[in-house]
């Protein structure tokens, strides 16, 4: 029987805690749960919590990690570069994640997101449920139970959940003359509630209404309540920019509730084409048709069937147990199993010291860094590194004039530096492979640029850092042609200039564009969408997420701290 150490969930009874509960339940009786020191396998329901385990213990155990968001999203977090070298097997929770891990050349197994069918199921008495929650009995009820406000600033919309996209949809629906009611629940709903009041859109919020401060620990609802709320709804609306799940897509499907969702995460595995939306106008039109003629009724049964066949806790248990049964046949597992484990006293001391350092010793920014870049070879690279240098100055980090700083920032190397322990190299489209330093952490302007490196055989760690660039104010949307994989900087400049982006679906440009443009699968469709987008430029412009000097400083704060 294998010894397994599970890293923590979120500690709040939210999605990650539920994931941990289901993983534990799935493997009960098959494995023995232990501390990290004695573990054959370290299993992380949330990969970032691997930082709680001392690196030598990660080196001796087989490390399995789940990604709760898409891998492409995590390329924008510097910690993911280290995780790629620590994790022996990634668990993809959707086909989207499976494809992304594969394109990044990372070892991966597909075990879909799951929910417990004993917690989410249809309840026939919709009228009784609406009376229980004070919802108008005959209204068309559009629900959303996601957080919509940033925890650090409850007056700011949460970027991932895109509540401003939901408001745009509801405003279009209202302006078309539709009569509907919005149902909200869960913590951090401050921004959306204020916006709906401002727009005069009727809604019901289930929770403690008078909490003006962060209500994360107050308004989390248990799953019994959530199940009843789904069943009180006509349709569940998910406007997110990115998701690993969302679990709500499975929960709504299990309750036989109609769904409209952006094409993200596990939603693409479960939902019918008619339930997937790309623009506010498309979503509003689908809602209007359903309010008038119940056109989405036909989606309910197939979505329920897909959930039931592949996304239940029983199916998850079958796949997890199959994975663990196969571990002995995996080369990576055999390689680690053959290592001599650390003795308990030594391993325990290492873990205790690691925990102590994490809690009591704060990483610090260096006082100075080495700078190694020769200007004049690539104008884009020069512009990007000028922003980086300005950010260093604002952070109070000097460019070394003498001595041997242990961190070097480089672009187009001018000389061969010695005594460097960490090297960060900025790379842009058109950068020659011969100039890439094999010891550096590579910094690129987009996810697509990382994929280009992988396709060219460059496997070293890479992360995405975006900087503000001079805008392109050309007229009309930017249409990126099929097969064009080096358009990342043109896209950033176009977004900065307020231009919508029309881009090939097969690329990773979605990770730059999100709701500020539309993808296409065929060239002719791209031209048609460009004409449509030209009429919605103002709205699409409002959804763009642009890098700022402040965001550059924030990411440098993480990259440079030691």
Q: pLDDT (tens digit, 9 = 90+) per residue, 46-75?
A: 999 999 999 999 999 999 999 889 999 999
What percentage of the chain reaches a pLDDT higher than 70? 98
Please state, in angstroms and rounded to a whole number, the distance separating the CA atoms of residues 18 and 406: 42
What percentage of the chain reaches a pLDDT higher than 90? 82
Residue 153 CB contacts under 8 Å (≥ 6 apart), including other chains: none
Averaged pLDDT for residues 444-458: 97
Please state, in angstroms and rounded to a whole number, the distance separating the CA atoms of residues 44 and 185: 29
Q: Which fold has domain 126-309?
A: Rossmann fold (3.40.50)
**407-410 vs 368-372, strand pairing mode:** parallel
537's enclosing H/E stretch is helix 537-542
Please state, in angstroms and rounded to a whole number, the distance separating the CA atoms of residues 356 and 352: 6
DSSP 378-412: -HHHHHHHHHHHHHHHHTTPEEPSSS--SEEEESS
Tokens at 315, concatenated = 């199916």
73's enclosing H/E stretch is helix 71-74
Please state, in angstroms and rounded to a whole number, the distance separating the CA atoms of residues 494 and 470: 9
Whether cis (ω within 30° of 0) applies to the bond prior to 246 is: yes
Tokens at 81, concatenated = 């570069």
270: left (phi over 0), alpha (psi -120 to 50) or beta: alpha
Pick the CATH number of 2-112+314-360 from 1.10.3470, 3.40.50, 1.20.950, 3.20.20: 3.40.50
Please state, in angstroms and rounded to a whole number, the distance separating the CA atoms of residues 417 and 147: 48
CA-based Rg of the chain, rounded to a whole angstrom?
25
Q: 15 near 45, Cβ under 8 Å? A: no
pLDDT digits (tens, 9 = 90+) for 475-527: 999 999 999 999 999 999 999 999 999 999 999 999 999 999 999 988 778 88
Tokens at 73, concatenated = 């999203």
Tokens at 26, concatenated = 């799935």
* Distances 541 to 168, 240, 514 between C-alpha atoms, Å: 12, 17, 11
Q: 526 near 465, Cβ under 8 Å? A: no
Assess whether pLDDT exceeds 90 at residue 406: no
Own/partner contacts of 35-40, CB < 8 Å, gap of 24 or more, are 35/5, 35/348, 35/351, 36/5, 36/61, 36/347, 36/351, 37/342, 37/344, 37/347, 37/348, 37/351, 38/3, 38/5, 38/341, 38/344, 38/347, 39/3, 39/4, 39/5, 40/2, 40/3, 40/4, 40/337
Assess whether pLDDT exceeds 70 at residue 401: no
Averaged pLDDT for residues 107-112: 96
pLDDT at 318: 97
Please state, in angstroms and rounded to a whole number, the distance separating the CA atoms of residues 313 and 446: 36
Tokens at 484, concatenated = 């064009």
Q: Where are the domains of the chain?
A: 2-112+314-360, 126-309, 368-468+550-560, 478-546
Closest to 281 measured CA to CA, from 527, 519, 477, 535: 535
Q: Average pLDDT over the chain, rounded to whole?
A: 93
If DSSP states are collapsed to H, E and C, what string results for 215-262? CCCCCCCCHHHHHHHHHCCCEEEECCCCCCCCHHHHHHHHCCCEEEEC
For the chain, how are helix, strand and coil distributed in percent, rounded to 5? 45, 15, 40
Own/partner contacts of 455-458, CB < 8 Å, gap of 24 or more, are 458/433
Instruction: Please tell me the number of Cα atoms within 13 Å of 57 on its side-chain side.
Output: 30
Assess whether pLDDT exceeds 60 at residue 402: no
Assess whether pLDDT exceeds 70 at residue 273: yes
Please state, in angstroms and rounded to a whole number, the distance separating the CA atoms of residues 10 and 45: 10
Lowest-confidence range among 11-15, 351-355, 440-444? 11-15
Tokens at 63, concatenated = 């490390």
Tell me if 2-112+314-360 shares its fold with 126-309. Answer: yes
Q: What is the side-by-side order of every strand in the sheet holding 501-504?
A: 478-479, 501-504, 517-520
Assess whether pLDDT exceeds 90 at residue 374: yes
Assess whether pLDDT exceeds 70 at residue 562: no
Q: What pTM was estimated for this model as a whole? A: 0.93
Q: Is 562 helix (H, G, I), strand (E, B) or coil?
A: coil
Tokens at 401, concatenated = 């004039």
């Amino acid at each position: 029987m294998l010894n397994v150490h599970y890293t923590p969930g979120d500690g709040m009874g939210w999605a990650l805690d539920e994931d941990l509960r289901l993983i534990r339940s799935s493997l009960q009786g098959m494995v023995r749960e232990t501390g990290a020191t004695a573990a054959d396998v370290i299993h992380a329901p949330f990969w970032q919590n691997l930082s709680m385990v001392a690196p030598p213990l990660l080196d001796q155990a087989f490390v399995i990690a789940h990604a709760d968001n898409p891998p492409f999203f995590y390329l924008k977090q510097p910690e993911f570069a280290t995780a790629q070298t620590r994790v022996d097997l990634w668990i993809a929770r959707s086909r989207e994640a499976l494809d992304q891990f594969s394109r990044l050349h990372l070892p991966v197994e597909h075990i879909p997101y799951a929910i417990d069918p004993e917690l989410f199921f249809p309840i026939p008495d919709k009228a009784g449920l609406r009376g229980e929650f004070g919802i108008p009995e005959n209204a068309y009820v559009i629900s959303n139970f996601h957080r919509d406000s940033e925890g650090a600033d409850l007056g700011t919309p949460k970027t991932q959940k895109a509540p401003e996209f939901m408001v745009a949809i509801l405003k279009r629906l209202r302006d078309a003359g539709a009569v509907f009611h919005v149902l909200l629940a869960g913590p951090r709903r401050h921004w959306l509630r204020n916006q709906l009041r401002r727009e005069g859109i009727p809604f019901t919020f289930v929770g403690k209404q008078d909490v003006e401060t962060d209500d994360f620990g107050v308004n989390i609802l248990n799953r019994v309540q959530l199940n009843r709320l789904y069943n009180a709804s006509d349709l569940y609306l998910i406007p997110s920019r990115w998701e690993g799940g969302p679990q709500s897509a499975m929960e709504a499907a299990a309750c036989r509730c109609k769904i409209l969702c952006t094409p993200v995460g596990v939603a693409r595995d479960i939902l019918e084409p008619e339930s997937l939306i790309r623009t506010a106008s498309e979503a509003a039109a689908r809602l209007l048709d359903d309010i008038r003629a119940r056109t989405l009724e036909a989606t309910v049964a197939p979505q329920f069937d897909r959930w039931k066949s592949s996304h239940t806790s029983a199916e998850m248990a079958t796949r997890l147990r199959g994975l663990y049964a196969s571990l002995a046949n995996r080369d990576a597992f055999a390689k680690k199993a053959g290592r001599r484990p650390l003795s308990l006293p030594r391993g325990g001391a290492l873990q205790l010291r690691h925990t102590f350092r994490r809690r009591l010793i704060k990483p610090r920014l260096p006082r100075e860094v080495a700078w190694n870049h020769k200007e004049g070879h690539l104008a884009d690279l020069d512009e990007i590194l000028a922003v980086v240098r300005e950010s260093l100055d604002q952070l109070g980090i000097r460019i070394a004039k003498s001595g041997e700083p242990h961190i070097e920032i480089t672009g187009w190397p001018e000389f061969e530096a010695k005594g460097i322990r960490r090297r960060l190299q900025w790379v842009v489209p058109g950068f020659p492979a011969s100039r890439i330093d094999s010891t550096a952490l590579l910094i690129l302007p987009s996810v697509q640029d990382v994929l280009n490196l992988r396709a060219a055989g460059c496997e070293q760690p890479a992360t995405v850092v975006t900087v503000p660039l001079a805008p392109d104010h050309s007229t009309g949307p930017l249409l990126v042609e099929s097969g064009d994989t080096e358009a990342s900087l043109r896209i950033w400049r176009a977004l900065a200039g307020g231009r919508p982006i029309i881009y090939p679906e097969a690329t990773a440009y979605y990770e730059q564009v999100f709701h500020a443009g539309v993808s296409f699968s065929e060239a002719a469709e791209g031209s048609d969408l460009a004409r449509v987008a030209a009429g919605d430029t103002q709205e699409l412009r409002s959804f763009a997420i642009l890098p700022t000097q402040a965001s550059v400083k924030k990411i440098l704060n993480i990259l440079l701290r030691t």
